[in-house]
Structure 1
Amino acid sequence: MANRTDEDDTRQRIKIAAIQLFSRHGIEGVSVRAILNQASVKNSAGIHYYFRTKDDLIRELVRDALMRTRRARNAALDALEASGARIGVRDIVELIVKVETVGTGDPEQRSDLPIGFGHMRFISVMQLNHRAMFAAAVEAEGDDSFQRCIDHIAAALPDVPRAALNRKLVFFYQFAQASLSAREAAFVLSEDGGRLWGEASALDSLIDSLTASIVGAPSR
């Protein structure tokens, strides 16, 4: 009989295999058998044993992703607030981007997922094609860290009406997610990130662009 450590290791291998495959092929394009093969799990009932169903596995992956981001983002916000420095919009945008792209020392981050937390494409797939399941997971898990970010941005832009700022933030989030998903895919395709993302200044340029999307004056 497998011991607890072996079971935990197998469970984690299944989760890593699933998030990699879902990121590349979408949810519908990945079978349970493909996940088990990728994870080198021979027991055909492996998903049922560890997660009950494929949907339960997906929900756990979403919860894991949200939890890692929330924990890392809150830690970065705590450090930024403790510094006593004035916090501007770019500071918050940089924090949001770097939490997803730079090692944080989070014990949940694994070398198997080298590009930040390695889940941006998976989250994009969920939001595009499985919004109800994703929204339910977000509601159940909660995310005080993103609200903290929004509060800092609003405080830095007191003259911008909240309704207008909220619209900007919706687009900002979509732009950021799409860009970080593209970056992740580029590093999966090529170890050096290719011509765009391999540039040392690429992340700074992204942060500048995202900041401009929030602070830029409306055309009319």
Structure 2
Amino acid sequence: MTGKAQPLPRGGSTRNELKRAARRLFAERGIAAVGMREVVEAAGQRNAAAVHYYFGSKDDLLRELLIDGADLIDARRRAMFDAAEADGPPSLRDVVRANVLPCLDLGGDTGEAETYFRFIVNVQNERRALFHDAVSDHSPGYARYRAHVQRLLAPLSAATINQRLLFAALSLQTLLAAREAAMDRSDTGDHHFWSRPEALAGMLDAVEAILTSPTAG
């Protein structure tokens, strides 16, 4: 039989090992600094063309890694918003919880919980257009969050609300990346600060404070 071999289905063990290794390298070193041969070596593979075989280009790999985590988070967000909206329009605290809690302890087939937020911070810093292109159709739950915040902060101008949403999102990503790094360094999966309920409450407080801070004037 001749012809080009077809990529294995998503979820194959070799494919997953490549994804896990790639996300960690991208999370720890950045996007541009990592070559595909390094990904192959970190995954314990011998075929130097393994990334190309399973994913295509480096950008294709980045998109798949972004979508994997985005889908995990957004499925949880949609479920939380369904529950929060069941008895009428939710409060701002409920909206913030539905946005933040799905980002914790992702699980996933390729270790998303270990490195995803450090990875997306680096993608946004280095390849912002690719990030937005990849996740825009995989974030309906986040769109519901934005719509609720716009409703709850309606007396403010649209420009001010959008600015606060941006600042809150960037701050949350930084907090999540710091939490992820600390938990990743732990041998037990526990951390003296980030595992405490007070840390989670503080993250919710921080996001809510950014959204509701007094206007200058």
- Would you call these one fold, judging by a TM-score over 0.5? yes
CA shift digits 1:78-137 (9 cap, x unpaired): 12212x15511121112211101045xxxx72373445xx41111110111111221222
Could you report, residue by residue, the CA deviation over 1:141-168 in whole angstroms, capped at 9, with x for unpaired residues? 3522212111112222332222211111
Question: In the alignment, is the contact (CA less than 8 A) between 2:164 and 2:210 conserved in 1?
Answer: yes
Give distance in 1, aligned partners of 2:112 and 2:142.
23
Cα distance between partner residues in 1 of 2:11 and 2:180: 29
Q: Distance in 1 between matches of 2:141 and 2:28?
A: 28
Amino acid at match of 1:94: R
Q: Provide the residue aligned with 1:216 in structure 2.
A: 213
Q: 1:143 to 1:4 in 2, by over 3 A?
A: closer
Q: Which amino acid aligns with 1:112?
A: G
Q: How many residues align?
A: 212
The 2-side partners of 1:196 and 1:171 are apart by 24
Contact persistence 1:89–1:211 (CA under 8 A): yes
Kindly provide the amino acid, as one letter, of the partner of residue 217 in structure 1.
P
Identity of aligned residues (%): 31
Question: TM-score, with normalisation over the residues of structure 2?
Answer: 0.86
Tell me, yes or no, if the aligned pair for 1:169 and 1:214 is still in contact at 8 Å. Answer: yes
Q: How does 1:13-24 map to 2 (within 5 A)?
A: 13-24=17-28
Q: Distance in 2 between matches of 1:5 and 1:89?
A: 41
Q: How large is the Cα RMSD of the aligned pairs?
A: 2.6
How far the C-alpha of 1:208 sits from its partner, in A, is: 0.7
Q: C-alpha deviations, 1:35-68, integer Å up to 9, x for none?
A: 1122222222211111122222112112222222
The 8 Å contact of residues 73 and 96 in structure 1, kept in 2 or not, is answered as yes
1:109 equivalenced with 2:108 (yes/no) = yes
Amino acid corresponding to residue 110 of structure 1 in structure 2: D
User: What does residue 163 of structure 1 align with?
Assistant: 159
Structure 2: give runs of 5+ residues left out of the alignment.
none
Normalised to the residue count of structure 1, the TM-score between the two structures is 0.85
Partners of 2:37 and 2:170 lie apart in 1 by 32
Query: What residue is the counterpart of 1:149 in the other structure?
Result: 145
User: SS state of the match for residue 196, structure 1?
Assistant: coil
